[in-house]
């Protein structure tokens, strides 16, 4: 009740003597400071809107234009070619009559201001159009490394001139080009080329006939509708992709859609759980502050990031602005933890103090409360029905609102995780499974992300997929880890730095009236989680440094190694997915790179059949260049799968069936791959702190990070990898226990072996003279 009394700014009672008014100056002070912070943020946002609205110009350039026009007119020259006089003639006569002090000079000045403003706006639109044309140039991606054309050099110079000195995070958004609709003929040709190594002769001939029939009949009709949408919409893919791939799925999003990110591999900054949570929460909120104030450097893949995002049933994305609290789960209980007081972000030490209060709270969970989160882990239809029936009013709705309106979700886990003990390999696998699904009820899988802090100080996160792709969340997590370890830091005894205000109100316990349907969702989620076979391993034999010395793209090298590993594991090739970004376009998200190519298959067969090294090296160069070209095409809007996906959606709206699209939709993806890019190397001092290496993250064997829109095979593998520094590649391999022919550990061993074999093939054998020369140098 103490908090309730503090929250009341004033109280009054009516007595026979009059009204007795009692003011709470502490509450009034908090209200004033909170309102002041709110107005400061509004002013900052208005300022940013103005700066972005006039980009690539600046607000101060308006004054420069006005002064230039006035100076020109002072020299008795009319730069407007009579337009200023025309504007002066059209000034309201009533205005002149009612304002006797408005002289001819004043009318001229007003006309100059109007003309200068119109000229300034015209220049802004022209500059923005020119910048959009420049950003539509993508030939630089197809040029060989070290061989830059004159056109590209001129393009780089012009982009730098038009971009301005300090663009805000979203300054480029209105200047980005729209995603183009590829010609249907090109898409079908690339599709047929991608399935050629996977089909027999008759099977390929059949698909060729289906593709030709589709192009000559229904395809062109669907293409016209798609081009019409591209003219009207900012991006012809993104809204349908978000709706039909993520929000309309009725299966569990746990494992199937959500993905995870891990802590440092070798280092745990502090073993104190509450302290690690304090710094992690603070770092995430500092990142949100940078996003809201647009202080982050704009990069190609940045999208609007709202930490307080939640998926609700029926599934829609809800964005909440400026939430001042987080929701914390510990031992089956839910707490609301305020992280701001009177407009001030609590210090890491104060957040640690509040977290420790939760850890020390001995109260037991309410009936069914400990397994409530399982509703977000199971099928979506039961969760929707339960939500409407039991969470639409009363105490359940109030508590659910606290979770959904929170900045993010925090789980204080009682387990210890990380690469530790006598079984570091097995512990890494258990660490990954814990982040991917936990106990199926101790995460809130609908939340934008759930931060998990373990008993021994390790942390990680589980992210929902519809609101952001992995590179965006990876950018957030890199900042968090770096800020936690290098900026905020800890005291010698492992606690957060800063002072504690002991008068902070304790975290508020959420209360519930839980229905019995929770057990049904838990059983579905538990079966899904038990079927996940996950293996995480760091490959330390070599990294991108050794690969680059061979003048080969590290990603192409890794992808061809995965093709070799899969062929050895399953004695065949398969439809392979690799995620690429389309952030060169407005509201772009992802595109599929079909990594299994004719050239790659020819190389793998040559290696397995024992062909000569020179022949294998020649085939590898062709395969690597082909892969790079496929990746470039996907990034520049000439991919295959998003185009086919949108054609399929149009066909469903029109109520027509296509045998070709039906055939394409039935193709299973048995190998899904994704690279987690390291984007902020400047935050990590790898020379002085080489042990602060990130493990990256991964996804489940049936994740929607898999194929484009077709069914994901139960007998497939999911592989995520991160290239760390110059000498390490971390892998995350997932599959299903229920399919006996897949095994994550076996496939991980095949990957390691394939990497070593590829390096051996590409490294020419040294002659006796070169070996003697090496010994002499040593």
Rounded Cα distance, 334 and 141, in Å: 50
Classified as helix, coil or strand, 61 is: helix
Rounded Cα distance, 615 and 358, in Å: 65
Q: Do 488 and 496 touch, CB atoms closer than 8 A?
A: yes
Cα–Cα distances (Å) from 307 to 42, 147, 170, 286, 296, in that order, read 18, 42, 17, 11, 15
Cβ count within 10 A of residue 669:
21
Q: Do 386 and 505 touch, CB atoms closer than 8 A?
A: no
Cβ count within 10 A of residue 448:
28
Classified as helix, coil or strand, 534 is: strand
Rounded Cα distance, 377 and 253, in Å: 6
Check residue 264 and report its DSSP letter.
Answer: B
Which residue pairs from 185-188 have beta carbons closer than 8 angstroms and sit at least 24 positions apart in sequence?
185/215, 186/638, 187/640, 187/643, 187/644, 188/214, 188/215, 188/219
Rounded Cα distance, 495 and 96, in Å: 71
Strand order in the sheet with 669-675: 532-539, 728-736, 712-724, 669-675, 576-581, 590-594
Q: What is the 3-state secondary structure (H, E, C) of 475-505?
A: HHHHHHHHHHHHHHCECCCCCECCCCCCCCC
Check residue 686 and report its DSSP letter.
Answer: T
* Catalytic site residue from 437, 465, 495, 627: 465
Cα–Cα distances (Å) from 276 to 316, 332, 457, 488, in that order, read 33, 20, 6, 11
- Minimal CA–CA distance to 330: which of 204, 415, 247, 266? 415
Rounded Cα distance, 353 and 347, in Å: 10
Residue 151 token pair: 């056109």
Cα–Cα distances (Å) from 54 to 127, 157, 169, 173, 481, in that order, read 10, 21, 14, 12, 35
Measure the N-to-C terminal CA separation of the chain; round to a whole number of Å.
Answer: 77
**DSSP string across 64-103:** HHHHHHHHHHHTT--TTTTHHHHHHHTS-HHHHHH-TT--
Which residue bears the tokens 């200023």? 84
Rounded Cα distance, 760 and 589, in Å: 37
C-alpha 503 chain-centroid distance: 38
Q: Give ∠ CA 230-235-237 in degrees, rounded to 5.
A: 95
Rounded Cα distance, 29 and 502, in Å: 18
Residue 598 token pair: 């004719």
Catalytic annotation present for 475: no
Residue 466 token pair: 């519809």
H or E segment to which residue 427 belongs: helix 424-437
**Four-residue CA torsion sign, 651, 654, 655, 656:** negative
**Contact residues for 718 (Cβ-Cβ < 8 A; gap 6+):** 672, 673, 698, 699, 700, 701, 703, 705, 706, 732, 733, 734, 735
Q: Do 298 and 431 touch, CB atoms closer than 8 A?
A: no
Active site residues: 465
């Amino acid at each position: 009740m103490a908090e309730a009394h503090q929250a009341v700014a004033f109280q009054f009672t009516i007595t026979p003597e009059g009204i007795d008014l009692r003011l709470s100056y502490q509450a009034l002070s908090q209200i004033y400071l909170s309102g002041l912070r709110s107005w400061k943020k509004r002013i900052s946002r208005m300022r940013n809107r103005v700066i972005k609205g006039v980009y690539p110009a600046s607000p101060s350039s308006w004054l420069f234009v006005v002064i230039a026009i006035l100076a020109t007119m002072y020299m008795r020259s009319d730069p407007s070619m009579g337009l200023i006089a025309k504007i002066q003639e059209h000034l309201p006569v009533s205005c002149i009559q009612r304002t006797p002090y408005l002289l001819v000079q004043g009318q001229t000045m007003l006309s100059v201001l109007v003309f200068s403003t119109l000229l300034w706006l015209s220049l802004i639109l022209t500059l923005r159009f020119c910048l959009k044309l420049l950003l539509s140039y993508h030939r630089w991606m197809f040029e060989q490394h070290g061989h830059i054309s004159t056109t590209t050099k001129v393009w780089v110079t012009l982009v730098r001139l038009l971009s301005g000195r300090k663009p805000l995070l979203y300054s480029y958004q209105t200047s980005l080009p729209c995603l183009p609709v590829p010609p249907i003929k090109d898409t079908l040709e690339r599709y047929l080329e991608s399935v050629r190594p996977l089909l027999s002769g008759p099977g390929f001939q059949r698909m060729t006939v289906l593709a030709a029939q589709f192009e000559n009949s229904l395809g062109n009709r669907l293409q016209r509708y798609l081009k019409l949408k591209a003219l009207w919409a900012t991006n012809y893919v993104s809204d349908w992709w978000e709706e039909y791939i993520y929000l309309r799925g009725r299966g569990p999003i746990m494992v199937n859609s959500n993905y995870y990110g891990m802590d440092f591999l070798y280092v745990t900054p502090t073993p104190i759980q509450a302290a690690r949570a304090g710094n992690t929460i603070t770092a995430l909120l500092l990142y949100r502050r940078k996003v809201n104030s647009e202080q982050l450097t704009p990069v190609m893949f940045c999208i609007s990031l709202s930490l307080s995002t939640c998926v609700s049933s029926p599934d829609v994305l809800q964005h909440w602005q400026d939430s001042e609290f987080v929701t914390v789960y510990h031992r089956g209980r839910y707490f609301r933890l305020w992280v701001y007081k009177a407009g001030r972000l609590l210090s890491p030490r104060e957040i640690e103090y509040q977290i420790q209060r939760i850890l020390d709270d001995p109260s037991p969970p309410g009936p069914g409360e400990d397994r409530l989160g399982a509703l977000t882990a199971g099928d979506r239809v039961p969760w929707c029905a339960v939500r409407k029936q039991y969470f639409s009013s009363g105490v359940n709705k109030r508590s659910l609102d606290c979770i959904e309106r929170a900045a993010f979700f925090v789980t204080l886990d009682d387990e210890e995780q990380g690469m530790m003990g006598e079984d570091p390999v097995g512990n890494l696998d258990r660490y990954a499974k814990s982040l991917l699904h936990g106990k199926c009820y101790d995460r809130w899988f609908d939340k934008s992300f759930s931060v998990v802090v373990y008993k021994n100080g390790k942390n990680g996160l589980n992210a929902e997929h519809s609101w952001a792709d992995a590179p965006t969340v990876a950018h957030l997590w890199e900042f968090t880890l770096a800020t936690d370890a290098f900026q905020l830091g800890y005291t010698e005894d492992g606690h957060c730095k800063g002072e504690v205000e002991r008068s902070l109100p304790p975290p508020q316990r959420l209360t519930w009236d839980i229905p019995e349907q929770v057990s049904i969702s838990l059983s579905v989620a538990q079966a899904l989680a038990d079927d996940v076979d996950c293996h995480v391993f760091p490959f330390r034999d070599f990294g991108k440094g050794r690969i680059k010395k061979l003048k080969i793209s590290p990603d192409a090298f890794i992808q061809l190694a995965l093709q070799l590993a899969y062929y050895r594991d399953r004695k065949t090739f398969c439809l392979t997915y690799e995620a690429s970004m389309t952030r060169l376009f407005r509201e772009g998200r992802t595109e599929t790179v079909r990594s299994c190519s004719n050239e790659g298959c020819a190389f793998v067969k040559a290696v397995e059949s024992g062909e000569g090294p020179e022949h294998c090296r020649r085939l590898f160069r062709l395969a690597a260049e082909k892969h790079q070209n496929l990746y470039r095409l996907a990034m520049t809007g000439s991919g295959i799968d998003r185009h086919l996906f949108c054609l399929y959606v149009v066909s469903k709206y029109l109520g027509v069936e296509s045998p070709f699209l039906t055939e394409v939709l039935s193709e299973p993806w048995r190998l899904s791959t994704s690279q987690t890019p390291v984007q902020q190397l400047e935050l990590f001092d790898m020379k002085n702190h080489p042990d602060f290496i990130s493990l990256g993250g991964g996804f489940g064997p049936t994740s929607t990070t898999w194929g484009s829109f077709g069914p994901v095979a139960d007998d497939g593998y999911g592989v995520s990898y991160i290239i760390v520094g110059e000498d390490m590649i971390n892998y995350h391999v997932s599959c299903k226990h229920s399919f006996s022919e897949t095994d994550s550990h076996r496939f991980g061993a095949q990957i390691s072996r394939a990497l070593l074999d590829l390096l051996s093939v590409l490294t020419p054998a040294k002659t006796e003279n070169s070996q003697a020369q090496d010994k002499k140098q040593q």
